[in-house]
Amino acid sequence: MNFELTKEQEMTRKMVRDFANNVIAPRAVDIDRHAEFPKDIFDEMGRLGLLGIPFPEEYGGSGGDTVTYALAVEEIGRVCGSTGLSYAAAVSLGASPIYYFGTEEQKQEYLIPLTKGEGLASFGLTEPNAGSDAGGTKTRAELTGDHYVINGEKCWITNAEYARSITVTAVSGKREDGKNIISAFIIPKDTEGMKITSPYEKMGVRGSNTSEIILEDVKVPKENILGDPSKGFHQFLYTLDGGRISIAALAVGIAQASLDKALAYAKERKQFGQSISKFQAIQFKLADMAMEVELARNMVLKAAWLKDQKKDFTKESAYAKLFASETAFRSSNQAIQIHGGYGYMREYEVERFLRDAKLLEIGEGTSEIQRMVIARQLGC
């Protein structure tokens, strides 16, 4: 086993860390406070090639791997959970399905602009009555001549308002056993009949755009169907497996930030004549935080490595997402506790880490769903 990063991976991590510290971090508080999507930051990220890290150069990407991409998500998430979430969703859920399953024509038209940073993409799966039960999708797509007509509703969709294209899932027919066939469709942003609003007032990741999509007689050419029309369900399960690695990486970033803030504060804060970092009660909290952050990071990198080696990574991505997201919540909660009353105040930022971390136990498969995935992989 070789746990060392390659020279290219280290260089990318340093580049992203410098960008995160110098450009994103100074605005993180305002992004959260004003629930402001930082489009200009994403434009700059596009120019730096960050939106194309895991894609081949022939499609406008950087030719990097999943490990490199996970490192980038962690560094961005360390300074701003909102920016980290939108970045992860743009690459893992927005662009990746087009790369995995798209035709050459679809890649040329839709993927290359995304990898070059000329726009973002979004993935519309969740519906008001179909979250964990994605098979319960109600959105319908009917083939009429050479077009599909799509009707339905999607909710809590990341980046939709700023997306160049949106891939949505819809029921397109019935299988022989009577179950629904779920297909995926690429819908360009300004397609008639697609209404996108952002009505949500969120607890955390407030600067990440979260939208509702209404589809009323939306017509798309049948060429816009993504991949095998009969395997849309399996395609988005594979997409979610990869997306869980990026959410886990984001969680590691938030957990690391919580540890960094708590450790720095514990060394500075004096009680009973000495810094509170000298008290065993505080030391044990910090030790547990440090241990869990490192374990979570290693699990993320293992899942990413397995994906890069084209090995099965379903179980490991669930391990990573489950453990890292719960680690982020525990670490941010402990960071608040170590800060005491100050931790409850916005000025010290750790309360933001807790609010941001909570979503990671819910989005892209709840912690309960991750445990179900793991149990199935165990043969239960």
**Binning pLDDT at 50, 70 and 90, where does residue 231 land?**
confident
Pairwise CA distance, residues 380 & 376, whole Å? 5
Rounded distance between C-alpha atoms, residue 32 and residue 207, angstroms: 5
Query: What pLDDT does residue 21 have?
Result: 98
Q: Running DSSP on this structure, what letter comes out for residue 146?
A: T
State residue 237's pLDDT score: 87
CB-based contact 187:122 (threshold 8 Å): no
Assess whether pLDDT exceeds 90 at residue 344. Answer: yes
Domains in the chain (CATH in brackets) are 7-120 (1.10.540.10), 123-230 (2.40.110.10), 233-378 (1.20.140.10)
In sign, the C-alpha dihedral spanning 95, 98, 100, 105 is negative
User: Is-contact 29 84, C-beta < 8 A?
Assistant: no
Averaged pLDDT of the chain: 95
Residue 136 pLDDT > 80: yes
Supply the pTM of this predicted model.
Answer: 0.96
Residue at 128: amino acid letter = P
Share above pLDDT 70 across residues of the chain, in percent, rounded to a whole number: 100
The torsion region of residue 2 among left (phi > 0), alpha (psi -120 to 50) and beta comes to beta
- Written as six digits, the tokens of 168 are 């949505």
For 14, 32, 48, the CA distances from 2, given in Å and listed in that order, are: 20, 39, 29
User: Cα–Cα–Cα angle for 129, 130, 133, nearest 5°?
Assistant: 130
Question: What digits encode the pLDDT tens for the residues 244-269?
Answer: 999 999 999 999 999 999 999 999 99
CB-CB contact of 156 with 184 (8 Å):
no
* Cβ pair 261, 350 in contact under 8 A: yes
At 132, the pLDDT band (50, 70, 90 cuts) reads: confident
pLDDT at 134 over 80: no
pLDDT of residue 312: 96
Q: What is the pLDDT of residue 232?
A: 81
pLDDT at 234: 86
CB 327 within 8 A of CB 296: yes
Whether 170 and 220 have beta carbons less than 8 Å apart is answered as no
Among all residues, which ones are annotated catalytic? 364
Three-class SS state of 91: helix
3-state secondary structure of 276: helix
CA 147 to chain centre: 31
What's the whole-number mean pLDDT along residues 140-153? 96
In sequence order, the 6+-apart residues with CB closer than 8 A to the CB of 174 are 180, 181
Instruction: Report pLDDT digits (tens) over 72-109.
Output: 999 999 999 999 999 999 999 999 999 999 999 999 99
Element (H, E) at 163: strand 163-174
pLDDT of residue 10: 97
Phi, psi of 184 (to 5 degrees): -115, 140
Contacts of 312 by beta carbon, 8 Å cutoff, 6+ apart: 306
Which stretch of DSSP H or E encloses residue 204?
none
- pLDDT confidence of residue 133: 83
Q: What is the mean pLDDT of the segment spanning 345-355?
A: 96
- Return d(Cα 204, Cα 225) in angstroms, integer: 34
What is the DSSP code (8-state) at residue 109?
Answer: I
- Digit-coded pLDDT (tens) for 23-71: 999 999 999 999 999 999 999 999 999 999 999 999 999 999 999 999 9
Residue identified by tokens 């779920």 is: 182
Q: How many CA atoms lie within 13 A of 149 on its CB side?
A: 6
Written as six digits, the tokens of 349 are: 């930022």
> What per-residue confidence (pLDDT) applies to 233?
81
